Structure 1
Amino acid sequence: MRALRILLILVVVLGGLFVAADRVAVHFAESKAADRIRTSEGLEQTPDVSINGFPFLTQVAGGSLDDVEIGIKDFEAKSDKGDAGIRIADLKAEMRGVKFDSGYSSATADRATGTARIDYAELLEAVKKQGRAQVAPGVTAWIDGLAYGGDHKVKVTVAIKTPLGTLRPSVLSTVDVSGGEVSAHADSLPAAGAFKLAEDRIRGVVDFRQALKDLPAGIELDRVQAVDQGIEITVKGSDLDLVG
């Protein structure tokens, strides 16, 4: 019995040492991965990286990780014109089936899902770049405000400058995603008092599209919806190159 107790104590001690070593190793790997992602994606801040699953060392020995979570506080997505584009807040992605080579110089993921958000103020700044348009003789219009309109709609405030003054009606718009772009389509069109607005021209102002390109690791837009804080985005991807 004494020998059995000693054996059990040794097993517990060795197990504890293994767990401690495993946790030290995973924290070191998370830090190195975060630095590598920051460099490869050109980020201003180091992202959060969490390697899930236990034991970590066994996964490393097999050359793959079951589940890796990546969080990026702010990410500058490019527009269709290739400029700085628009800032995406709180981008979070969960990578499944992450594989890496023996030299740890590259890593790929079988698939990924995640979420992100574009604040209304940030989206408004990007949309304003489309400028003003003439919607009737002597009448110009432009988007002047974006906010949550309830029921997953975006409230779009339009400034309409007429010879008699500037009006600021609002419309509710439905958001969607297609081809790497977030789009908003007005459910109805604003009016400008006695001035008759050309429908195609005013819709060309009220409706807008914003491209979001070069997202991290090649993930793509999946779905969008309007919420209180901004446009909530769902992203997904497969066969992703994480740090190559």
Structure 2
Amino acid sequence: MAEVYGSERPRRRRGRTLRVVILTLLVFLIVGVVVLDRFSNSYAENVLADKVATEVANQKAESSRPVVTIAGVPFLTQVLAGKYEEIRIELPDFKAQTGSGETVRMDLLDIRARDVKAPLSALRGQGDVVAGTVTGTGTIDYRLLADATGQKDLKLTEKDGKLVGSGVLAISQTQQVPVSAAADVKVVDGKVQVRFSDVNTPGLPDNPLVRTQVNAFFAQMAFELDVPKLPLNLVVQELQPLPEGLRVTFGASDVNLAAAGV
């Protein structure tokens, strides 16, 4: 019996050692795959960021270095499938010139490309990279919009989800009164158009002369702001007054990111 037990113990030790070695190798393999996946993801994001920066410059716009994030884990399975969940492109400190000379500024132009299809050949610069939908959001400061009117006394603010314009109306050389009106904001032929209505003139006498002055004041305040040419063929889709500024939503569909510079 001593001989039998003596022969089994080394086998058991060898079996445990083999399992430990295999498990260790598996751990190293998994860690290696994860590291490779994250490295490949980071490399692809940096390449895209460089291309987006070039596209921004080609549009005569400016921004800090783009921040690109390719969503979805693992990354390499998306590469092999040629499909990506979402690519997020952030353009900090975005600036672009309009056709009429104004500079549109946004602290951040946040772009999302979804349902992106890209064959392996596209990674070598061949083939199309097509996003089913591309959306972007940014906020324009109210001071910029007010400056577009050329009226230095106009102030734009948000109240109860609506844009409100206010200013000071000179009734005479000695009398100036505050006036305000709701602003109708919409997109017309690719331009941000602002018109005023529902004029509020507290304390003013209700007579034809005063009404004429008030109407002329706000008619002069009406303005249009050209929308600059944006990366990825984005166009304005929605405008939303917020306390911090006018939120602009851009969009496009079936965008060839490779053709657009990305």
Give the drift of 1:22.
1.1
- Whichever structure has more strand as a proportion of its residues is 1
Equivalent in the alignment of 1:104: 125
- Whichever structure has more helix as a proportion of its residues is 2
Matched, 1:120 2:139: no
Q: Secondary structure at the match of 2:65?
A: coil
Structure 1: which 4+ aligned runs deviate by more than 6 Å?
none
Deviates more, 1:227-236 or 1:156-165: 156-165
How far, CA to CA, are the matches of 1:109 and 1:18 in structure 2? Answer: 28
Structure 1 residues without counterparts, runs of 5 or longer: 129-141
The superposition leaves residues 190-220 of structure 1 with CA deviations (integer Å, 9 ceiling, x where unpaired) of: 6676544268744432333222131221122
Structure of larger gyration radius: 2
State whether residues 149 and 172 of structure 1, in contact with CA within 8 Å, keep that contact through their aligned partners in structure 2. Answer: no
Alignment: residue pair count: 230
State whether residues 117 and 231 of structure 1, in contact with CA within 8 Å, keep that contact through their aligned partners in structure 2. Answer: yes
How far, CA to CA, are the matches of 2:34 and 2:23 in structure 1? Answer: 16
Structure 2 residues without counterparts, runs of 5 or longer: 1-14
Give the drift of 1:73.
1.5
The superposition leaves residues 111-133 of structure 1 with CA deviations (integer Å, 9 ceiling, x where unpaired) of: 122321001122222232xxxxx
Equivalent in the alignment of 1:134: none
Q: Secondary structure at the match of 1:189?
A: strand
Deviates more, 1:89-98 or 1:143-152: 143-152
How far, CA to CA, are the matches of 1:99 and 1:78 in structure 2? Answer: 32
Distance 1:44 1:94, change over 3 A: closer
Equivalent in the alignment of 2:195: 185
Within the candidate set 179, 186, 190, 1:176 is matched to: 186
State whether residues 183 and 210 of structure 1, in contact with CA within 8 Å, keep that contact through their aligned partners in structure 2. Answer: yes
Residue type at the aligned position of 1:239: D
Equivalent in the alignment of 1:13: 28
Distance 1:25 1:226, change over 3 A: same
Q: Compute the RMSD of aligned alpha carbons.
A: 2.7
Q: Identity across aligned pairs (percent)? A: 26
Which TM-score applies when normalising by structure 1?
0.80
The superposition leaves residues 12-69 of structure 1 with CA deviations (integer Å, 9 ceiling, x where unpaired) of: 2101111011111211211121111111111342111101112212222333422111
Residue type at the aligned position of 1:225: Q
TM alignment of 1:1-244, pairs within 5 A: 2=16, 3-42=18-57, 43-81=62-100, 83-100=101-118, 101-104=122-125, 107-128=129-150, 142=151, 144-161=153-170, 163-165=172-174, 166-189=176-199, 194-197=209-212, 201-242=216-257, 243-244=260-261
